[in-house]
A and B are shown apart, each in its own frame.
Chain A
Amino acid sequence: MLDWKKEIRQRLADSKLEPAREGEIVEELSQHLEDRYQQLVTGGATTEEASHAVLLELADSELLSSELRRVHRTIHREPPVPGEQRRTTVLHDLGQDLRFGFRTLFKNPGFTAVAVIALALGIGANSAIFSVVNTVLLRPLPYKDPDGLVMVWEDATRHGYPRDTPAVANYLDWRSQNHVFEDMAAVADASLNLTGVGDPERLEGSAANASLFSLLGVAPQLGRAFTAEEDQPGANRVVVLSNRLWARRFGADPSIVGKQITLNGQPATVVGVMPSQFQFPSQDVELWVPIAFTPQQAASRGRHYLQVVARLKQGVTLGQAQAEMNTIATRLQQQYPQQNTDLGAVVVPLHEQVVGDIRPALLILLGAVGLVLLIACANVANLLLARAAVRQKEIAVRVAFGASRWRLIRQFLTESVLLAAVGGIFGLVLSVIGIKLLTRFIPPNISQIKAIELDSYVLGFTVLVSLLTGVIFGLVPALQASMFKPNETLKEGGRDSSSGNRGNRMRALLVVAEVAVSLVLLIGAGLLINSFLRLRSVDPGFDSSNLLTMRIVLPDLKYKEQERRSAFYTDLIQKVEALPGVKSAAVTTNLPLYRQGNSTGVEIEGRPAPPPGQEIIITTRVISPKYLTTMGIPLLKGRQFGPEETAKMPGAVIISETMAKRYWPNEDPIGKRLTPGRNAGPDDWFQIIGVAKDVRQFELNADPKPQMYLPYVQADFFAPRDLVVKTNIDPIGMAATVRSAVWAIDKDQPVSNIKTMDEIAAESVARQRFSMMLLAIFAAVALVLAAVGIYGVMSYSVTQRRNEIGIRMALGAQRRDVLKLTVGQGLKLVLVGVAVGLVGAFVLTRLMVSLLFGVGATDPATFIAISVILVGVALFASYIPARRATRVDPLVALRYQ
């Protein structure tokens, strides 16, 4: 009797069935033939005759295999039929693949660890950054229909303020004349001193129109908002508390509404408490009072201090609103040429206003993490490729046993998706930690942001990224594996040496890509680090060491008269300077680098008043005599303020270098006179007594504008509020003592913003530090990943070439030669990658110009230095496996097949 199974199998060879299915069919058909054979033999036929007759049944074997192929292919074309077999087969296969996948992953812990780490780094960084981007850029603002909300600014580009805070009269005209906004509301900073409950405290508050709350569409969680009647002078002794202040200072007292508190020495009735997510115009604001313009305020076009928010009418576009505001602004220009010449109005979506500053940095970071993920994927793909090459024999065997191409692809995909999933889980853990770290470094001035947390968006994003990663890098080895010819591999008798030229090329390509992408990232990071270092080394114009600062805002009501204020400051400075450890003390209206401060229009004696629109606007600080000494601001010419300066006019003024150069280019400014503001009487002149070095008043990366200092005894239009103390010892250690000195004078006087000048300087570059740090981290990760990639490829290639190296060494090659050979191979790849990366960086770094300071986007020094570093690291990564290659014992290498 013949072996029926064998006969059938031969004839089914072409049908390419799945192995399991083929087994069943063979079993079933062989039984048929067996039955037939038995029947024939029982019927009296000889065994030969019977065998012959039975084989005739298989005569049409081509038909059989083609029919079978058709039947099994039609499965995919036919619509799903109720039969459950199909699903169970796929599920069964999937289960098998999963089990097999886990087994292979566990069997190669080194490979798995490297791949998972690479992915976790890529995915973790991705979801951490995405969480930040999501919170900052994507998540809508916590207001009703936030898309319709805009900010409206005065456009004073002429004076360097493209988005300037509007003057009250302008705002009121906008409000009454426009047809595009449903409503407009103005807010202004209002610092309020809270007394009467516990320690006196200075609170950041906001004076707001009554309509602000309804315009934003947020209702108080307790009580009510202001009424229009309360938004009138005299009726405005009411206050709405923030949730934070309510909890912090009033123990979340549910019966707070209706109670009176003392603000700036006056009673105010609490009418409501806002929910915690309401943070308008910034997260620092702890309470709101009615803005209640007085008639004088309402007529003023000279003082620009409002922030105006508006809601677009249904169907009105941003462009239409801007056009209407342009018309109104033009009309106001003609109507009030004195104050409004060259003054425009600009409409900015609220969301853009909130995130505008940080957007470029975040988008660049997002791009950077994308690149890191790419490198991670390339790395894993590389590892899988190398492994696919090693597993060629396994695949060959499976193909020979009838595994279909599709089946192999599926198995490889399962494996890599599994890997990606494990990487994704670790990545998620990493991103939770990453977000914690990131949150700590987020610059505090990005308002509207409370907590950045991992939410479902991010989770979805991570899952998507890790699955996509799995598919992307799973496909390459799977396709490669399914394309090769099992016969050839099996025929090679297990010699790996010549396996897969295509695989080698692919791996080389991946290394080149990895090097190129990391170079781009490294150069980007290099440029940012470079910028940051330059920013930090900018001379701010003062010496920030050992300076303690605190804010002391005197309440208007209690310190109404200039004499009282002066007495307070004089007394305070005397008391503080008497403290041990204090070198000197001074007060000023605004410390540098706080991004706040006043400017004044100035007229110079003997010169015609500048035409409207060309006023001389000077950054102005009102200071106490020893301010320049205390801050370490060098005096270039003349003298400082001293006891000579009394309340009697004419006054004295110290101007900055830039101001001197700009307005007295070829003369000595000392002795010249000027007056701040218009309508100066004959006694309002200030004489220039000194020239001081420029100070970066707003931020380090902005060139100093012309600036001047006025003594507080003479300039009563701005009240000093910042105390600065130069100490001999650690300044922050003096904070409590200095504060007691304040309270010794006025026990109800709040003290806030206790910081060292170094801290203020550091905060002023927090955003730059944030971007730089993140990009540097990514670049470091990229560098590590690229090094791992190069190492992996080189050690694989060395293993493959063990035979060749053995022969070379047996023939007398020296270690040096072998090293040169193998390291040279790696170097070639790296150099190609560097070349590609340089081109990429050249193109891409232009996108980050807005983040750079003092460095060109194509700074040659950075480009060269980073390339050298990368080549160095790459050389090291390929040197290790190369050195191992030289330790090969020629005999062992030759024997090793």
Chain B
Amino acid sequence: MTYIGSRILDRELKKGSAELLILSLVEDQPRHGYDIGQLIEQRSQGVLKFNVASLYPLLYRLEKRGWIQGRWIERPTQRRRRYYRLTADGKKILAAQRNSWLEFVQAINRITGMEHA
């Protein structure tokens, strides 16, 4: 029971935060899907991991909402790749999500910290 319970929590957390993660990663520069996946894995030191089946539908959904925009870009030495960049709408969403995420984490910290203390 506990095992299943923690897995569900895991998934919901990931889903809630995944949008924020992706938006943050394309904030400074356009990135392609593999790059985004790799960065999430590296920076979270392997805790967070997206596979193809979970990452791409998410990218497409964000794109449909107009928060990021994908574009095929060809470089001389590479095959063409699809790069995603943050749109103006996306920037606003990112700022809002960052805020609420911060509040959420602080709230959790306060609760869990008090309970530990």
Q: Which residues of A contact B (CB under 8 A)?
A: 24-25, 28-29, 31-33, 35-36, 56-61, 63-64, 67-68, 70-72, 74-75, 78, 81-83, 85
Distance between Cα atoms of A71 and B55 in the complex (Å): 12
Which residues in chain B, 35-93, are within 8 Å of chain A measured between CB atoms?
A: 37, 51-54, 56-57, 60-61, 63-66, 69, 79, 81-82, 87, 89
CB-based nearest A residue for B79: A31
Distance between Cα atoms of A686 and B57 in the complex (Å): 108
B interface, over-half SS: helix
A sample of 21 cross-chain residue pairs with beta-carbon separation below 8 angstroms, ordered by A number, consists of A28-B56, A29-B52, A31-B33, A32-B34, A32-B56, A57-B53, A58-B52, A60-B51, A63-B53, A67-B54, A68-B60, A70-B57, A71-B61, A72-B64, A74-B61, A75-B64, A78-B65, A81-B64, A82-B66, A82-B87, A85-B63
| Cβ-defined contact, A64 with B64, below 8 A | no
Distance between Cα atoms of A36 and B38 in the complex (Å): 9
The 6 tightest CB contacts between A and B, nearest first, are: A67-B57, A64-B53, A81-B66, A60-B53, A83-B66, A57-B51
Distance between Cα atoms of A28 and B60 in the complex (Å): 11
Residues of A within 8 A of B66 (CB): 81-83
Q: Which residues of B contact A (CB under 8 A)?
A: 32-34, 37, 51-54, 56-57, 60-61, 63-66, 69, 79, 81-82, 87, 89
Distance between Cα atoms of A133 and B72 in the complex (Å): 58
Residues of B within 8 A of A60 (CB): 51, 53-54
**Given known contacts A57-B52, A78-B64, A81-B66, A32 and B33 CB-to-CB distance under 8 angstroms:** yes
| Cβ-defined contact, B64 with A68, below 8 A | no
Residues of A within 8 A of B64 (CB): 71-72, 74-75, 78, 81, 83
Chain B nearest CB, measured from A738 CB (Å):
88
Distance between Cα atoms of A81 and B81 in the complex (Å): 25
Residues of A within 8 A of B33 (CB): 28-29, 31-32
| Cβ-defined contact, B53 with A28, below 8 A | no
CB-based nearest B residue for A8: B52
Residues of B within 8 A of A33 (CB): 52
| Cβ-defined contact, B52 with A64, below 8 A | yes
CB-based nearest B residue for A86: B64
**Given known contacts A35-B34, A81-B65, A83-B63, A67 and B79 CB-to-CB distance under 8 angstroms:** no
**Given known contacts A81-B65, A81-B66, A32 and B89 CB-to-CB distance under 8 angstroms:** no
Q: In the complex, given contacts A32-B56, A57-B52, A78-B64, what are 19 additional A-B residue pairs having Cβ atoms less than 8 angstroms apart?
A: A28-B82, A29-B52, A29-B56, A32-B33, A33-B52, A35-B34, A56-B51, A57-B51, A57-B53, A58-B51, A64-B56, A67-B57, A71-B61, A72-B64, A74-B64, A81-B89, A82-B66, A82-B89, A83-B64
Chain B nearest CB, measured from A38 CB (Å):
10
CB-based nearest B residue for A54: B52
A interface, over-half SS: helix
Chain B nearest CB, measured from A10 CB (Å):
14
CB-based nearest A residue for B89: A82
**Given known contacts A67-B57, A82-B89, A32 and B65 CB-to-CB distance under 8 angstroms:** no
Chain B nearest CB, measured from A54 CB (Å):
9
Distance between Cα atoms of A219 and B57 in the complex (Å): 73
Q: Residue among A36, A78, A82, A83 with the most chain B CB within 10 A? A: A83
Residues of B within 8 A of A56 (CB): 51
Residues of B within 8 A of A24 (CB): 82
| Cβ-defined contact, B52 with A67, below 8 A | no
Chain B nearest CB, measured from A12 CB (Å):
11
CB-based nearest B residue for A28: B82
**Given known contacts A74-B61, A82-B89, A83-B63, A25 and B56 CB-to-CB distance under 8 angstroms:** yes
Distance between Cα atoms of A61 and B54 in the complex (Å): 10
Distance between Cα atoms of A25 and B61 in the complex (Å): 13
| Cβ-defined contact, B57 with A61, below 8 A | no
CB-based nearest A residue for B65: A81
| Cβ-defined contact, A32 with B37, below 8 A | yes
| Cβ-defined contact, A36 with B57, below 8 A | no
Distance between Cα atoms of A33 and B63 in the complex (Å): 21
CB-based nearest B residue for A31: B81
Chain A nearest CB, measured from B72 CB (Å):
8
Residues of A within 8 A of B89 (CB): 81-82
CB-based nearest B residue for A39: B38
Chain B nearest CB, measured from A33 CB (Å):
7
CB-based nearest A residue for B37: A32
Residues of A within 8 A of B32 (CB): 31
Chain B nearest CB, measured from A28 CB (Å):
5
Distance between Cα atoms of A29 and B56 in the complex (Å): 8
Distance between Cα atoms of A414 and B43 in the complex (Å): 51
| Cβ-defined contact, A71 with B57, below 8 A | yes
Distance between Cα atoms of A57 and B53 in the complex (Å): 7
| Cβ-defined contact, B34 with A64, below 8 A | no
Residues of A within 8 A of B56 (CB): 25, 28-29, 32, 64, 68
Interface residue from B52, B60, B79 paired with A32 (Cβ < 8 Å): B52
Chain A nearest CB, measured from B53 CB (Å):
4
Distance between Cα atoms of A149 and B100 in the complex (Å): 72
| Cβ-defined contact, B34 with A31, below 8 A | yes
Chain B nearest CB, measured from A81 CB (Å):
4
Residues of A within 8 A of B81 (CB): 28, 31
Q: Residue among B32, B33, B57 with the most chain A CB within 10 A? A: B57
Distance between Cα atoms of A538 and B87 in the complex (Å): 86
Distance between Cα atoms of A35 and B31 in the complex (Å): 14
Distance between Cα atoms of A632 and B34 in the complex (Å): 107
Chain B nearest CB, measured from A183 CB (Å):
66
| Cβ-defined contact, A67 with B82, below 8 A | no
| Cβ-defined contact, B53 with A67, below 8 A | yes
Distance between Cα atoms of A57 and B54 in the complex (Å): 9
Interface residue from A28, A31, A63 paired with B54 (Cβ < 8 Å): A63
Distance between Cα atoms of A83 and B67 in the complex (Å): 9
Chain A nearest CB, measured from B75 CB (Å):
13
Residues of A within 8 A of B57 (CB): 64, 67-68, 70-71
CB-based nearest B residue for A35: B34
CB-based nearest B residue for A21: B60
CB-based nearest A residue for B33: A32
Distance between Cα atoms of A78 and B89 in the complex (Å): 16
Chain A nearest CB, measured from B28 CB (Å):
21
CB-based nearest A residue for B63: A83
Chain B nearest CB, measured from A52 CB (Å):
14
CB-based nearest A residue for B60: A71
Residues of B within 8 A of A75 (CB): 64
Distance between Cα atoms of A24 and B56 in the complex (Å): 12
Distance between Cα atoms of A187 and B87 in the complex (Å): 77
